[in-house]
């Protein structure tokens, strides 16, 4: 039964008993240069609530985008991702379904097929990320969507629909509020954003851009973070690219671990957080602290925490 149906009956979803939803007064953000598999091996079992995963697909975008057997390589981090997720955890994998015969390339279809055969995780949604701005094409219909495959680790996966509801427009809202069959509280909350998300891609001159070629829009990552994790939980992004996940986590009061094989992650993250005070890597600022290692990061407490999920207690702010 869904969370909303249970709440109407005054009951709670199994995942809600597993979390302590308290906003910490300071969140911690580890930013590490590392190969994804090497980073994952260092993380304890069941220590992460959400993995935002935007992998390379071997389509020769850069020298890192080149693996002779794509799915064999992907299998290593997919298995590790499942191991590090808490029982309430979620995995969101970005990708597309089109391929044009590039030798050794991968795509989301291949990942979905691997997961179906080799993983206990359940596909909760295949989200269509639809945008109106994109490249033109002459030999096929111009592409205007990408996909995000959302897997829950167990049937107790956490999902906070209320955190991402979309307000009704004023006219619809007024009409619904007059409709006696509808509950006013539900109308006020807004609607389910559905599994088709219309969010523009970043144009070349977008103010969000920090220089990474495949940077995702903040609004997409924010919706994932708000719905699939909770304040004080740990979000992991081991293909961190521009550092957008870390930035969203700072703003949404989640702890985060970001890593990338590229040494540019630090610079990108500084640009992401340029509105915050200088010297970010030296300690705490504005309710968050950034470090280049995993020491004392909540993720390292892993399993064994109350309820078996990543810690969500308040951390004393640095003075």
Ligand X SMILES: C[S@@+](CC[C@H](N)C(=O)[O-])C[C@H]1O[C@@H](n2cnc3c(N)ncnc32)[C@H](O)[C@@H]1O
**By the criterion CB under 6 A, which residues form the site for ligand X?**
35-36, 54, 56, 64, 212, 214-216, 238-239, 241-242, 244, 260-262
Place of tokens 């702890």: 255
- Closer Cβ to ligand X, 32 or 234, answer by number: 32
- Closer Cβ to ligand X, 24 or 241, answer by number: 241
- Closer Cβ to ligand X, 83 or 173, answer by number: 83
CB of 292 to ligand X, least distance (A): 16
- Closer Cβ to ligand X, 26 or 262, answer by number: 262
- Closer Cβ to ligand X, 3 or 234, answer by number: 234
CB of 162 to ligand X, least distance (A): 26
* DSSP bridge pairs for 94: 148
- Closer Cβ to ligand X, 88 or 259, answer by number: 259
CA 166/CA 193 separation, integer angstroms: 6
Give a three-class secondary structure readout of 161-211: HHHHCECCCHHHHHHHHHCCCCCHHHHHHCECCCCEEECCCCCCCCCCCCC
CB of 176 to ligand X, least distance (A): 36
Taking alpha carbons only, the member of 95, 51, 64 closest to residue 238 is 51
CB of 244 to ligand X, least distance (A): 5
Tokens of residue 243, six digits: 């550092």
- Closer Cβ to ligand X, 64 or 167, answer by number: 64
Whether residue 256 contacts residue 30, with contact meaning beta carbons closer than 8 Å, is answered with yes
- Closer Cβ to ligand X, 233 or 242, answer by number: 242
CB of 199 to ligand X, least distance (A): 13
CB of 56 to ligand X, least distance (A): 5
Q: Which residue is nearest to ligand X (CB)?
A: 241
- Closer Cβ to ligand X, 13 or 226, answer by number: 226
CB of 80 to ligand X, least distance (A): 12
CB of 261 to ligand X, least distance (A): 4
**Length of the chain in residues, anyone?**
319
CA 54/CA 57 separation, integer angstroms: 9
CB of 29 to ligand X, least distance (A): 15
């Amino acid at each position: 039964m869904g969370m909303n149906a249970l709440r109407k009956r005054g009951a709670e979803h199994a995942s809600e008993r597993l979390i302590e939803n308290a906003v910490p007064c300071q969140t911690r953000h580890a930013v590490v240069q590392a190969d994804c598999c090497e980073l994952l091996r260092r993380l304890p079992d069941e220590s992460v609530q959400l993995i935002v995963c935007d992998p390379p697909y071997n389509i020769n975008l850069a020298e890192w985008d080149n693996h002779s057997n794509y799915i064999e390589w992907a299998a290593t981090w997919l298995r590790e991702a499942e191991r590090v997720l808490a029982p309430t955890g979620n995995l969101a994998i970005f990708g597309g379904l089109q391929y044009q015969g590039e030798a050794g390339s991968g795509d989301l279809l291949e990942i979905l097929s691997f997961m179906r055969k080799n993983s206990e995780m359940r596909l909760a949604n295949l989200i269509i990320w639809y945008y109106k701005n994109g490249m033109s094409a002459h030999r096929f219909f111009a592409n205007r969507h990408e996909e995000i495959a959302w897997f829950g680790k167990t049937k107790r996966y956490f999902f906070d629909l209320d955190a991402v509801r979309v307000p009704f427009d004023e006219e619809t809202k007024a009409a619904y509020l007059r409709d006696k069959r509808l509950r006013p509280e539900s109308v006020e909350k807004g609607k389910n954003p559905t599994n088709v998300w219309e969010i523009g891609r970043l144009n070349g001159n977008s103010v969000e851009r920090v220089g990474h070629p495949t940077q995702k829009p903040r609004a997409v990552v924010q919706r994932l973070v708000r719905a699939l994790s909770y304040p004080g939980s740990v979000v992991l992004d081991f293909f961190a690219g521009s550092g957008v996940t870390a930035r969203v986590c700072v703003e949404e009061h989640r702890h985060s671990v970001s890593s990338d094989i590229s040494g540019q992650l630090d610079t990108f993250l500084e640009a992401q957080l340029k509105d915050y005070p200088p010297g970010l890597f030296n300690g705490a600022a504005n309710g968050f602290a950034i470090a280049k290692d995993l020491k004392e990061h909540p993720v390292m407490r892993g399993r064994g925490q109350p309820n078996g999920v990543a810690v969500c207690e308040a951390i004393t702010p640095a003075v």
